[in-house]
């Protein structure tokens, strides 16, 4: 869909070129609008208690569903994708989710977004945008779908045909109008349910309120990733299997055919790999050093110790 040209119009081609130039792997642009479908599913997810103790998800529902509540006069949501399938994998017990292998994606993507905004302002001096990388309550997966970057798989994650669900997402909400907007792509999962069957804790639950076989919800109360990161309790539930993970969990992603053929995008040095593999036995000062500028800093050393003791 093409928008009329005026002083507030930006070129979609220029936006995407800037995104690739600063290091993003894909970029799509959606017209800002209220996400009524997401609002309904979010309400059901919270009403059924499947958000566990993540009470922050109960807040800012208007912001999550309406970009105009975040940026006055919002017209466009620029959606950005950075893939993270690593070049080397841990081969020891005490595993870490792949998204935490490298630099904290919040820092990396936000830095790239500011570089991108600076490039766009050189071409469009009046351009203003609010960058979001989990720093604002925005429904990033749903916007990525609207911007044509993939579809939401049964693992409840965005799946991109080239990079699978090994992706981090960011958005720039702007009052500028794009001269062209992207359209959603077709769902590529078909009848595949490998992710659902692979979860050892049965955390992927069919959304019975939607008459569509592809609609699933994550029950965080059953999710190993939730328990190893978000759960602050001294002891984890006995019936939750961590399957060797001490931070996060990738089991549902490992089962996905798109992830098994995903391109490698994140270089992991031998030194970093050794650091990650030492997490199974390291002390508190070493953990603090390894976790610096990494998603690993989301947990305390006491949580790491707890996870190491209950990782089976």
Q: Which are the catalytic amino acids? A: 134
Measured distance CA(18)–CA(12) in Å, rounded: 10
CB contact set of 204 (below 8 Å; sequence gap of 6+) = 154, 155, 156, 195, 196, 216, 217, 218, 219, 252
CB contact set of 174 (below 8 Å; sequence gap of 6+) = 10, 71, 74, 75, 76, 77, 78, 127, 128, 129, 130
Pair type for strands 177-178 and 9-10: parallel
- Terminal-to-terminal C-alpha distance of the chain: 51
Measured distance CA(87)–CA(268) in Å, rounded: 6
Helix (H, G, I), strand (E, B) or coil at 96: strand
Q: What are phi and psi of 285, to 5 degrees?
A: -60, -40
Show the tokens assigned to 20: 């690739």
Give rounded-to-5 percent helix, strand, coil for the chain. Answer: 40, 15, 45
Measured distance CA(312)–CA(300) in Å, rounded: 20
């Amino acid at each position: 869909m093409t928008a009329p040209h005026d002083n507030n119009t930006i070129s979609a081609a220029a936006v995407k070129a800037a995104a690739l130039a600063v290091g993003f792997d894909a970029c799509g642009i959606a017209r800002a609008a209220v996400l009524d479908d997401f609002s309904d599913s979010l309400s059901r997810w919270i009403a059924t208690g499947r958000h566990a103790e993540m009470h922050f998800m109960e807040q800012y529902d208007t912001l999550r569903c309406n970009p105009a509540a975040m940026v006055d006069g919002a017209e466009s949501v620029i959606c950005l994708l950075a893939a993270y399938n690593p070049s080397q994998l841990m081969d020891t017990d005490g595993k870490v989710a792949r998204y935490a292998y490298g630099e904290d994606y919040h820092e990396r993507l936000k830095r790239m977004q500011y570089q991108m905004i600076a490039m766009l302002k050189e071409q469009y001096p009046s351009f203003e945008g609010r960058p979001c990388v989990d720093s604002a309550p925005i429904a990033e997966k749903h916007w990525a779908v609207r911007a044509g970057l993939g579809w939401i798989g049964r693992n409840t994650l965005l799946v991109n045909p080239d990079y699978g669900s090994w992706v981090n997402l960011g958005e720039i909400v702007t009052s500028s109008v794009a001269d062209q907007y992207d359209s959603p792509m077709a769902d590529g999962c078909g009848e595949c349910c490998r992710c659902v069957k692979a979860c050892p804790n049965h955390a992927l639950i069919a959304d019975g309120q939607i008459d569509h076989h592809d609609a699933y919800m994550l029950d965080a109360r059953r999710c190993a990733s939730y328990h190893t990161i978000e759960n602050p309790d001294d002891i984890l539930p006995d019936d939750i299997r961590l399957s060797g993970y001490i931070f996060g969990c990738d089991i549902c992603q490992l089962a996905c055919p798109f992830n098994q053929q995903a391109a490698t995008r994140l270089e992991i040095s031998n030194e970093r790999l050794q650091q990650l593999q030492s997490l199974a036995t390291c002390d508190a000062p070493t953990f603090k050093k390894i976790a610096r500028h990494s998603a690993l800093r989301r947990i305390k050393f006491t949580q790491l110790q707890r996870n190491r003791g209950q990782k089976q």
